[in-house]
Every structure is written in C-alpha cells, then in structure tokens.
Structure 1
Amino acid sequence: MLLITHSMHAQLTPLPNTENYIQTKTYLDYNGSVPTKSSETVGYFDGLGRPKQVVNVKASPLGRDVVTHIEYDQFGRQTKDYLPVPQSGTQNGAIITNPLSNATQPGIYGSEKIYSEKMLEKSPLDRIMQQIQPGNDWANKPVGFSYEANMVNEVYQYTTKTTWENGATKSELILASATSFYAPGTLYKNVVTDEDGNKTVEFKNGRGQTLLVRKITTEYLDTYYVYNEYDQLAFVIPPKAVHMGTAEPLLNDLCYQYRYDGRNRLVEKKLPGKGWELMVYDKADRLILTQDAVMGSKGKWLLTKYDIFGRAIYTGVLVSTAKRAVLQDLIKDLVITEPRSTQGFIRNGMTI
C-alpha cells in the first residue's frame, strides 16, 4: 500500500515487495518542481495486519534512520512500548532486521531500560495491573491498578429533584442525611497508586458515570459528581464543600452547577464564586450567544456567527436585555449563517 500526502510528482524510495508496509512522504519545503525538505515514514505490518516496525527515514540530526520496534506477547498483546532507537546509518526506509541493537550505545540509551511495560490481569478482560515507565530509575516504582467494589459507608449518595424553569432544568441537591451512603457492592471502585504511593480512587455506577474521585495522600480529598434524573451532570462538589451541607448559598460559593435545555444542551452554568453564564444555540446546535454575569449587568451578549461550513467567521456584541429563554425561542428554528458577499453593509454608522 502506498500513501502520498502531497504532490503528484512525489518520488518515493523503492522498497522490497516482501513486506507489508505503508510509506508516507510529506514535503516540508517545496520550491518549484524540486522538493528540498521532506519527512518520510515507513510503517511495517505483520501477517495479521498488526504494526511491527516504524522507520522514520533519516530523521536523526546525522541523517540516520530512527526506528520504533513493536512486539507482542504469546497472546497477541502489546505489553511493551519501546522508545525510538536511532540507527548507525540509513537503509532509506527498508526494514531493520535488529532495530534494538544500537540502543546500548553510550550516546543513545546506554544501559537504560528503553521500554515501558504493562502487567495484565490473567483473565480475558486483560486489565492493567501494573505499569512501569522507561528508565532504570522507574524500574522499582510501578503504577498499580486494582479493581474492586465499594464498601459500607464509603460513598455518599447525593440525589436531585429537578424542575423545569425558563426553558431549562433546575436541580435541587439533596443528601437525605449524614448516613446516606450507597449500599456496598453497588459501585465500581478503581484504585490507581502512583509511583510515590499516592492513591486515586474512582467510583462509578452501572451506567459508567463517575460519582466520586478520591485523592488519598495524608488525608482524603473527595470530589463528587451528581447527576440529575435525566443523567445530566448537575453538580460538581469539590472537597471543601463535601461536609458543609447542600444549602444554595454554599452551592453558589463552592460548587459547580449546570442546567440543560430539552435538547440536552448546556444552557446555564455557574462556577464557584461567579455569577451564572448563559448560552443560546441555533437549530444546528451551534453556540450563537453567550453571556457572563458582567455582560448581563450591562445588557450585552457575545455574538458568534458562522459560515455555511460551520466555521466561526466573526464575533461581536449584541445589546439586548431579553432573557435567555426569549432569545433561545427566537432562533430555535433558525440555522444562523453569514453568507459571503462582495458588498458591505452599514452598522451603527460604519460601513463594513
């Protein structure tokens, strides 16, 4: 297979027909009919169509090939990721028989370990249990992974009560009591232990939604993610707010809040300590108007218009005191585009 990324007159180095490969040449500087700079890569594949070697032709500062070796274990899994190895010369893209032999040169990697390694679970799931980074210094500092279920009194069970207000969801955060926890064994619990022994614990429900991320160092730092009845992210509760109740003033000061319209589009959001930010979309789900609290106090909106290909072509300021729901209703059935024209127009006394 041959892939040419530029120029009908591209000249590629002939390669042997005994290997499966994709050869790519990209011109970096083109002067008339004579290319002066180019980047050439050859990817080789085994009989099963799996990548086995990538040759970056003459990619080193000395004009030598740089080769990435790819190998698989007896089960066809790629458990080692090798660093690219500069070769002693160039074979103009031909496959390198022993690409790792040059790695031990003092000016390259020397005695360093040149691959990262994954230890996989002995099951059809092939889940990663350990991962070790390249380099001798990391050899005894693996990243560990474990897969468990939640235990008793481990994760608070927040819920919401959602109503419809001004064309958007409005959720109330509820924690029935200080003892409202998910029942044991109802959540997936994934634990990642980094090279320094610090743990990150992630809890997910059966729908794959992340409910809690817990950082464990000298203390627990919990960040909760709360979804409304429509499986939309309604609240993010940072560590400082976890044990301080669910009153609205607290939510406004410390939490992230999100509201959505009937098409599942984010139309209102509030970041900690900030006012509400509003968003208005056209029929094609493109963001047309946005407003933060400062612009809202001045009766202004940031306007974005697009061409027929969906590319933003200009932004401006719309002066309007209309509510978000009113503006959304005005353009909900419109696809807002700006056609190209050789004639200008007059706006606020200016010819554009």
Structure 2
Amino acid sequence: MKRLYILISFLCLIGAATAQNSNQNYVVTRTMLNESSSSYLDVVKYYDGLGRLCQTVHNQVTPQKNNLLDLSEYDESGRDVKDWLPVYSSSAYLSASAFSSTASGNYGSTARPFNQSVYEASPSDRLVAQYGPGAKWSDKPMTTDYMLNGSSEALSCVHYSVNGSTLVNGGSYATGELYVVRTQDEDGNTASQFTDKQGHTVLVSQLNGTVRHDTYYVYDDYDNLCYVLPPAMDGNISTASLNLYAYQYKYDRRNRCVWKKLPGADAVSYVYDLNDRLVFSQDGNQKSRGKWMFYLYDDLSRLVVQGECANTNTSTASARSVACTCVNTATGLGNSGYSSDFALTAPVVYLVNYYDNYDFRTLPGFNNSFFSAETVSAKGYLSGSVITVLGSDTKLYSANYYDKKGRVTKTVSSNLLSGYETTTTIYTFTGKPASVKHVHMAAGKTTQMEIYTYTYDHAERLTKVEHSLNGVKVTLAANTYDELGRLSGKSLHGSASNKLAYAYNIRNWIESISSGGLFNISLYYGYNGNVSRMVCRCPGDNKTYGYNFAYDNLSRLTSAQSLIGGIITLGYATNYSYDKNGNLLHLRRGGQTGLSGTGIIDNLSFTLNGNQLKAVNDDATATASNGFEFKDGAKLATEYTYDANGSLIKDLNKGIEIQYNLLNLPSQVKFSDGSTITYTYGADGVKLRTVHKIGGVTTTTDYCDNVIYENGTAKQLLTEEGYVSLSDKKYHYYLKDHQGNNRVVTDQAGGMEEANYYYPFGGVFLSNGNDVQAYKYNGKELIQRRD
C-alpha cells in the first residue's frame, strides 16, 4: 500500500532541510517507494496569499533527477489565464519571470509553451477562447459563444417530446427557451449544443460546410433518455425511419430500462427483480428461439450464475426478489453448486462465479492439485469461475488468489487442450508488477514457462523488461525517457541496431518514430490534431510511401493523396464520401496492378438500408496484384442480409454465409465452395480456437493464453514486444507506428522479416519480406482464408 505523508506548512514553519521555498505557502506530499522509507517522491504545491495554486514541483522526478515544475497565472479578477507547460530545472521554485526564461530554454524562445484562456467581460466569467501551446497556434484558438435559440436556421431547434410511447414533433422551440453553446476548434469546425432549462442536452448540431448534421435527444417526464435521433433522420420520425436510424428506450415505473431498440436490429427486453437487478434479457435472435438470458446474484448482488433458459413467465420476476444460494455440492444449476428460488425452464449455464472463499474446490473440475488451498482470505473478491465453451459441454475452470492488500498474486485456469495456465505476480512496494511468471501446460505437450521481470527508475518509469523462456533470459525492451518524462527511445533484444527513437511536438503529439534503416515514419498535423500527412519507409524500399490526408468539417477522412518518394501520384490514393450518419457512400481506391504499375482498383458505390449495407457496385476494371481489390460478385439489388440482431449473415459478393453465437460473435463463415472457417469462444467472449477447412485441408489454431498452436504443434508464444517462434526459440519483434500498427517484424538480430504499408483504414497495399505472422493493423490478428 502506498504511504502518503502530507506535510502542511505556511511560510517558514518547515526547516530549510526540505529544500522548499520558505517564502511561499506550500503543501508537500511524500509518496514512499519502499518499506524503509529511504526512497520516495515529493510533490510540492505552492499557493499564493489568496489560496490559489500557483506552482507544482515534482522533486527530482526527471531521468537526470531535475525537478519538473508547472506554473499557473491569474488575472486581477482571480481567473486562471495562463497555464505553462512543465519545465525541468534544478531549482526548487521558480518565479514567473524565471519560469518563462526556463521554458524558453526547454522549448525554444519562440515556442509559446503555455495554454492561454480568455474570458468574456461580464460577471459570469465565461470562457470565450482558449489558445493551446505552440507558436503555430498563436492565432488559432478554440472559441466558445453563448447564445439563446431563435428562429434563424442556425439557432432553430425542433421540440420533440414523448407522449406515452409515442414520439411527438411539437414544432420548434420558442425563441429564448434553450441555452446554446457554440464551440469552434482550431480548424474552424463548429458544433452547437442546445440545452433546456432542466439541463438536458436536446440537440447537438454540427456544420459540414453549410449543411447541418443534427443529433436530437428526447426525454420523458422523468428525465429518462427515450430517443436518440441521428442526423440521417432529417426530421422524419415515421415508424420505418425510427426503426432504421433511431436509438429507442423504454422504462418501467422505477425508471429502469426495460426495452431497447438499436438501429437495424430487433428490440432487446430486460426484466428486473425487486432489488433492481437485471435477471432476464432477450435479444431478437433469442426471441425467435423462445430463449432468455438469465442472471442470478448472491446476497450482496454479485453475479454468480449466468445462462440461457426457455421460461415464459419471466415478467413475474419483477414482483419478487430472485435469490440464489450457494450449496457447494455438485448439484443445482448445471452442477454449479448454486440453486435459485425462481424455477428456470431448461436452463443452460454459461458462467459461474464464486466469491469470498475456496469452498468450490470440492466441485468437479476444481478437485485437483492445480487448485490449491488459500493462504490469504479472498473475502470480498472473486475467487473462482467456470466458463462454458460455447457450442459444447466443455467447461473451463479458474481460480484467483490474493495477497493481504487485495492484489491478485496467482491465477490458475484450465485451457482447451486439457492443460492449465498458471500466472504468478510479485509486486513492488507501490503495486507495480516486479515479476510475472506464466506456466503453460497442455496434455501431451511441452510445458512452456516464461518469466517477465520489470525494472523501474527512481520515478517509477519502466526502464527494462526482461523475458525468460524455459530458463533463458533476454532483454525484451530497454526504455529511455526525455527530461519531460516522454518515451524517447526503446532498444529491443539489447540490440543497438534494433532501436526506436521517438520525437514529439510541443503538444506531445508524436512527430516521428525512427529505427535507422529498419523503419521510419514522420507525422504532420492540422491545427486541431488530425494527421495531415504521414510519410513512412520500411526495409527493402529505396523510397518513401505516405499520404496527404484531407477531412471534412466533421473530421471524417475524405481523401488520402498517395505520396511515393515525396511525389503525389495516383498510386494508393483513396477518396471517401459519407451520408449524414457517417456511413460510406462512395470509395475510390488506387493500388498496384502489376510489378510496377498502379491504377484504380476500386470505384465503389454503396447502397444502404438505414445504416446497413445493402449492395455495392464497382465501376473499376483493374485488379490489384495482391488480390486486395473488391470482388463485385453479385450485382443484385440486395447483396447483404442481416439477422434480427443486425449482424451480417450473408455476403453475396464474397460468397459467404456467417453464423453467430449467443454473444453475437461469428461462430462460422461458410464459403460458396463448401469451405468453412469455424471459431470457438468461451462464454466470456475469449477466442479459443479457429478451424479452417479449405479444399479438403483442415488447419486448427488453438489459443491458450499467449501460446498459439497450429494443428497440435506449439507455434508461437506472444510477448509484449512481438513473439517467440517455438520451433527454434527465436525472438521476433514488432516495430509499431503511432496507431499501434505492426509496420515491421524483425528477428532478434534486427534483421527485417516482414514489412507492411497500410491503406488509411487498414488494408495492406504493399508488403516486403515474408508474411511470417498474422498480427497486422492495430496489432489485431488478420484472419484470412488459407488456400
């Protein structure tokens, strides 16, 4: 537990040994970093004679053990008008003039390293402009105007209300009935928020050019949100329009949401007991099957059992308190050891939780040596759980063990390969992980034991991550920081050649990530923070690839000009247009059509039904050399079909049909040639297995925590910085860009194995090296048909 010692001093009451400025009022907060109190961090807050915070000093917190200081300045009315960015200095306190001089040294003499606030000249002291840090923004403030609604186009607002269960258009609000706050960002994009006298936001209106995009919020007499009407409705509140676009909610007499309908999906119903606990829910797919999800709780209203049932009397639960009792015998619901006083019809249990103790260890699945007895009480904590593997009768069992401070020190869980995952964590004095040991076991397989060791500097910044696999230790990453505390460098596998350097602008936005000849990316920004240009170079290329980005007034990407070697070309350019809800209406995309040529590979027009894609027409004739282009395989009026929950179940262009589990996660993708991709999930939504059956060839991928098997053979062990190929125990590292996309995969010596260039929304338009692993855009696994 952190120990905080707060020393309060006014003027000269604390001795000079504390190194604070004794001519100022201050409060010192000391955070102990070890049990002997020999290591600590001090934060000193200085106040002026009116009790206003004027300066905060983090003592010796920078990598070079300088102090980190920030300063606030006030006007004669006591308003905060200037907040300086942090500066580093050996001084314990800086006057305003000394702070300004130090800031010039830290950021540059023309950097303008402060936020400036401007207030209206009235007793209300309302903020009308904010200038962010940076000389480039000296004439680019965020502004705020305060108004009342009126009859003009810009200030009008429709008065929607709820009459029973009906949405009513009552015409426009009378002039002066609503408060309007209009904000404008640094690029001139505006948004107006309309608020009624009860404080409800009834309208948010944004301008794209001169076109209003209005989102309305409608409440009942009890202040419950009943409707959200998005811009595409454009005032049409017919039943058909509401079903296509609106978010709709209904409540019972106790103001609990009992009915919810999202756009393009059937309604979801909810039932609560007398203790206001959700005990039943039913979505559109379940309604067609006559099923309900049930939720049962213990005496402390903690969820203990969740599953599906076929009751027809669920509404009667609202008149009683539904109780669930733990009997700790292999009986009750799904032999979970729990029984309910509300009779359930054909219950199927998917999730079971145990709390406070480990009495569940006598139940089937837990009665083995892997689930040890407690050494510290788990009172008040989740101690065990049972997860059903969806689509089967298989159960996965887990237990959590705690220390006296309530921190999880050990978890044991079974996996789909008849083995166990055991994770043990040791913490520092302040609660950061010092080491994490993970042991993976599977029936008939080699045990994998890995240990992470974490090293921190004097200010609790992570400086080194070491990884040991089956007794062989390597340094995964060594981090360095600049004097403002920002990550400035990362060395992978202890290699000087495999090192990333980070640079930032004055607003701490990443300007560049570089790794010598392995990977370099430069970023440029608009005034409001949207990326305006990105230039990237990966191994194997003697030229750079990048984009110039353009946005509309709603910050939606409208075009990405392709830059090859710094020259604007057709190349891999993309263009987009949208409807009022932000759905794509048109996409034009360039791509590589041969060894060196490029052309338009996609010229797509989208037909929508509400927010759902109905059909796609492609006017492009060229094909991409990597097969990435859209395949217009149907040319029908309706090419996409959805289920009652709004999930896509048929795509005629790709020739696939999709099935889903009760969590609305895909359970199978079936292709027109009979090939399938099948997914297995636990009831907690964790993916456990993928099976590709393509052309008579079956490939099974199992996910056991961070250990990945392919056809029964351990293939990869994922690490914090990449993965280990288990066939040769070699480390591989991801070099990521500002979005977390895996741009380059290197071997442990720093050699390039794979390099990827991405379209703005994630497609790969160019790759170098081999396709050695599946984790690409945003670091997510890309699952493709394996022909």
Distance between the aligned counterparts of 2:249 and 2:75, measured in 1?
46
1:14 counterpart letter in structure 2: T
Most deviating of 217-226 and 42-51? 42-51
1:23 counterpart letter in structure 2: V
Q: Helix, strand or coil for the counterpart of 1:146?
A: strand
Q: Helix, strand or coil for the counterpart of 1:101?
A: helix
Question: Compared with structure 1, are the counterparts of its residues 143 and 34 closer, same or farther at alpha carbon in structure 2 (3 Å cutoff)?
Answer: closer
| 8 Å CA contact 1:23, 1:41 repeated in 2 | yes
| 8 Å CA contact 2:107, 2:113 repeated in 1 | no
Question: Compared with structure 1, are the counterparts of its residues 236 and 5 closer, same or farther at alpha carbon in structure 2 (3 Å cutoff)?
Answer: same
Most deviating of 57-66 and 15-24? 15-24
Larger fraction in strand: 2
What residue is the counterpart of 1:321 in the other structure? Answer: 311
Aligned residue among 247, 259, 268 for 1:268: 259
Most deviating of 195-204 and 321-330? 321-330
Encode CA deviations 1:80-111: one digit per residue, 9 max, x unaligned.
12111111x2x5xx433433331111x53442
User: 1:31-110, aligned counterparts within 5 Å?
Assistant: 33=36, 38-87=40-89, 89=90, 94-97=92-95, 98-105=98-105, 107-110=106-109
Distance between the aligned counterparts of 2:280 and 2:64, measured in 1?
53
| 8 Å CA contact 2:4, 2:30 repeated in 1 | no
| 8 Å CA contact 2:274, 2:319 repeated in 1 | no
Question: Compared with structure 1, are the counterparts of its residues 71 and 289 closer, same or farther at alpha carbon in structure 2 (3 Å cutoff)?
Answer: farther
What residue is the counterpart of 1:224 in the other structure? Answer: 216
Distance between the aligned counterparts of 1:26 and 1:150, measured in 2?
51
Distance between the aligned counterparts of 2:57 and 2:335, measured in 1?
61
Encode CA deviations 1:196-230: one digit per residue, 9 max, x unaligned.
11211121222121111110122110111112233
1:348 counterpart letter in structure 2: G
Q: Helix, strand or coil for the counterpart of 2:182?
A: strand
Question: Compared with structure 1, are the counterparts of its residues 285 and 95 closer, same or farther at alpha carbon in structure 2 (3 Å cutoff)?
Answer: farther
Distance between the aligned counterparts of 1:337 and 1:103, measured in 2?
62
| 8 Å CA contact 1:73, 1:79 repeated in 2 | yes
What residue is the counterpart of 2:513 in the other structure? Answer: none
What residue is the counterpart of 2:567 in the other structure? Answer: none
2:81 counterpart letter in structure 1: T
Q: Helix, strand or coil for the counterpart of 2:104?
A: coil
| 8 Å CA contact 2:258, 2:271 repeated in 1 | yes
Distance between the aligned counterparts of 1:25 and 1:181, measured in 2?
57
Encode CA deviations 1:28-83: one digit per residue, 9 max, x unaligned.
5x3x63655x4331112222222111111112121100001122110111011211
Q: Helix, strand or coil for the counterpart of 1:112?
A: coil
User: 1:155-174, aligned counterparts within 5 Å?
Assistant: 155-162=157-164, 171-174=165-168
Question: Compared with structure 1, are the counterparts of its residues 323 and 159 closer, same or farther at alpha carbon in structure 2 (3 Å cutoff)?
Answer: farther
Q: Helix, strand or coil for the counterpart of 1:99?
A: helix
Q: Helix, strand or coil for the counterpart of 1:71?
A: strand
2:56 counterpart letter in structure 1: V
| 8 Å CA contact 2:295, 2:303 repeated in 1 | no
CA positional deviation for 1:125:
0.5
CA positional deviation for 1:326:
2.4
What residue is the counterpart of 2:26 in the other structure? Answer: 21
What residue is the counterpart of 1:138 in the other structure? Answer: 137
CA positional deviation for 1:269:
1.6
- Structure number with higher relative contact order (C-alpha < 8 Å, ≥ 6 residues apart): 1
Distance between the aligned counterparts of 2:205 and 2:73, measured in 1?
36
| 8 Å CA contact 1:5, 1:25 repeated in 2 | no
Q: Helix, strand or coil for the counterpart of 1:60?
A: coil
The root-mean-square deviation of aligned C-alpha atoms, in Å, is 3.1
| 8 Å CA contact 2:142, 2:184 repeated in 1 | yes
Q: Helix, strand or coil for the counterpart of 2:232?
A: helix
| 8 Å CA contact 1:131, 1:143 repeated in 2 | yes
What residue is the counterpart of 1:166 in the other structure? Answer: none
Question: Compared with structure 1, are the counterparts of its residues 23 and 277 closer, same or farther at alpha carbon in structure 2 (3 Å cutoff)?
Answer: farther
Encode CA deviations 1:258-317: one digit per residue, 9 max, x unaligned.
111222222322211122233344555454544433344441315263673x6x464521
Distance between the aligned counterparts of 2:334 and 2:118, measured in 1?
67
Distance between the aligned counterparts of 1:279 and 1:325, measured in 2?
9
Question: Compared with structure 1, are the counterparts of its residues 297 and 124 closer, same or farther at alpha carbon in structure 2 (3 Å cutoff)?
Answer: same
Residue 334 (structure 2) pairs with residue 348 (structure 1) = yes
Distance between the aligned counterparts of 1:345 and 1:51, measured in 2?
61
2:27 counterpart letter in structure 1: I
Question: Which structure 2 segments of 5+ residues have no match?
Answer: 8-13, 337-362, 365-787
Q: Helix, strand or coil for the counterpart of 1:195?
A: coil
Question: Compared with structure 1, are the counterparts of its residues 337 and 22 closer, same or farther at alpha carbon in structure 2 (3 Å cutoff)?
Answer: farther
Question: Compared with structure 1, are the counterparts of its residues 221 and 304 closer, same or farther at alpha carbon in structure 2 (3 Å cutoff)?
Answer: farther
Distance between the aligned counterparts of 1:209 and 1:286, measured in 2?
27
The percentage of counterpart residues that share the same residue type is: 31
Distance between the aligned counterparts of 2:108 and 2:325, measured in 1?
56
Q: Helix, strand or coil for the counterpart of 2:181?
A: strand
Most deviating of 42-51 and 139-148? 42-51
| 8 Å CA contact 1:291, 1:302 repeated in 2 | no
Question: Compared with structure 1, are the counterparts of its residues 204 and 129 closer, same or farther at alpha carbon in structure 2 (3 Å cutoff)?
Answer: same
What residue is the counterpart of 1:182 in the other structure? Answer: 173
Q: Helix, strand or coil for the counterpart of 2:93?
A: coil
Distance between the aligned counterparts of 2:313 and 2:261, measured in 1?
17
Question: Which structure 1 segments of 5+ residues have no match?
Answer: 163-170
Distance between the aligned counterparts of 1:203 and 1:131, measured in 2?
21
What residue is the counterpart of 1:168 in the other structure? Answer: none
| 8 Å CA contact 1:300, 1:321 repeated in 2 | yes
Question: Compared with structure 1, are the counterparts of its residues 35 and 248 closer, same or farther at alpha carbon in structure 2 (3 Å cutoff)?
Answer: farther
CA positional deviation for 1:257:
0.6
Most deviating of 40-49 and 283-292? 283-292
| 8 Å CA contact 1:161, 1:229 repeated in 2 | no
CA positional deviation for 1:26:
2.5
Question: Compared with structure 1, are the counterparts of its residues 230 and 137 closer, same or farther at alpha carbon in structure 2 (3 Å cutoff)?
Answer: same
| 8 Å CA contact 1:235, 1:255 repeated in 2 | yes
